[in-house]
Amino acid sequence: MVIGGVHAADIADEFGTPVYVTDEQRLRDNYRRIYEAFSKYMDTRVHYACKANTNLAILRILEQEGAGIDAVSIGEVLTCIKAGYSPKRIMYTGVNVSDSELKAVADLGVMINIDSESEMERLARIAPGHQVSFRITPGVGSGHGAKVITGNKGAKFGIPLDKVIPVYSRAEDLGFDIRGIHAHIGSGGQSPEPFADMTEVLIDNVNRLSDLGIKLDFIDIGGGIGVPYRPQEEEMDVGEMAMNITDMITEYTDVKTLVLEPGRYIVCDSTVLLTRVNDIKDAGVKKYVGCDAGFNTLIRPAMYDSYHYAAIANKFGKACTDKFDIVGPICESGDYLARDRPLPDPKEGDIVAIYNAGAYGFSMSSNYNSRPLCREVLVNEGRAELIREAETPEEMWRHQIVPERLSR
């Protein structure tokens, strides 16, 4: 296996495992593809949903490409500013936000996408006249599983449809600088129809607001564009999706700017997780390949039952000999990366590559079982560079305090 011109086995030998490896050119290509698909039809701003992956080097690459940012916490806002983003290129969309976080975001001059009536009233006291948009609940859901569908009726996110017009009217009375309207229906959707249905809802509300004299600068259709995780799965046609959605907006509204917030689409397939085989076990009814990465490193298979394609990186082209579960070192029966996968005669020391690991891989990793966070590497045109050091045990302990009385 070769990633960005570098052999995967060489990366594993040089930097150790487990390690996330990102191909810089694939990252740039993904951003350009989504931006060009929409911008050919109307003014478009692509705000990378950075919760998918907040590595500073990855953020820096996307800043160079011209991306904006969709941030959901003050930590993400500060991380993106450190990576070189102007606050004006960031939109903050939090949920159940504290007063202290609202103030911190507002003080930085970042636009706030308001999620609730409570948040609106509190922000009016904290930062009068602030630049805002509103997240609405469109009653349309999409996603790869129930845990990531966010736009359905009754969801915890956004302003319910029957309250949208009164909320915007109240915001105008409060003196906010109202700029846009936003919805996000979920994560990992593979069908374009829910995006079109959501856009219809947004358009209807834009026009109702326009009749009241409230003119908006942009419509934000959120993110959630899925990517193929399985070998035979087809990609969503973003070109057709872009043409249909921009046609709807330009034909039925006066809004001139479209905002979208892809995260997974940009970073997912740019990255693989490399993990070394420590153990092979035949349990009779099941055979296991035991690796040094578990759900502390990549939690998606255990948390969402997500499929990630897996291969032995140093045995490409070899015939598969049997089916195996690929499991990790965590003391839990649910600690697995892949189930029942055909593999070519695995041995201790082999390197397993877990594909499509760039989105919600490292960003959802943990110290469970007191295991340090792993390294990250960037590859580009035959060169591999470390972009995150592996965590040490001392760094895991750095914020813990043992009361003096317990040390006696």
pLDDT average, residue stretch 366-374: 97
| Diameter over CA atoms, the chain | 75
pLDDT of residue 152: 65
Q: What is the pLDDT of residues 198-230, one digit of tens each?
A: 999 999 999 999 999 999 999 999 998 989 999
Is the Cβ–Cβ distance between 41 and 62 less than 8 Å?
no
| Known active-site residue 80 | no
Q: Residue 127: pLDDT above 80?
A: yes
pLDDT of residue 185: 85
Domain regions of the chain by residue span: 2-6+268-397, 24-266
Higher pLDDT, 231 or 16: 16
Among candidate residues 289, 257, 258, the one with its CA nearest the CA of residue 275: 289
Q: What is the pLDDT of residues 139-192, one digit of tens each?
A: 876 555 555 556 566 678 899 999 999 999 999 999 999 999 999 987 666 777
Sequence-distant (≥ 6) Cβ neighbours of residue 152 within 8 angstroms: 137, 139, 140, 141, 185
Whether 24-266 and 2-6+268-397 are alike in CATH topology: the answer is: no
**And the tokens for 16?**
């150790």
Is the Cβ–Cβ distance between 330 and 370 less than 8 Å?
no
Identify the active-site residue in 80, 291, 320, 331: 331
Q: Which amino acid is at 265?
A: Y
Q: Residue 54: pLDDT above 70?
A: yes
Whole-angstrom Cα distance, residue 128 to residue 110? 14
pLDDT average, residue stretch 125-151: 78
Whole-angstrom Cα distance, residue 166 to residue 174? 12
Task: Kindly indicate the confidence band of residue 364, based on its pLDDT and cuts at 50, 70 and 90.
Answer: very high
Q: Is the pTM of this model over 0.75?
A: yes
pLDDT of residue 265: 96
Q: What is the pLDDT of residues 380-389, one digit of tens each?
A: 999 999 999 9
Domain 24-266 of CATH type 3.20.20.10: yes
Is the Cβ–Cβ distance between 248 and 241 less than 8 Å?
no
**And the tokens for 317?**
């082209």
Q: Residue 405: pLDDT above 70?
A: yes
Q: Which residues of 50-86 are buried (b: 16+ CB within 10 A; e: fewer)?
A: bbbbbbebbbbbbbebebbbbbbbbebbebbbebebe
CATH class of the region 2-6+268-397:
mainly beta
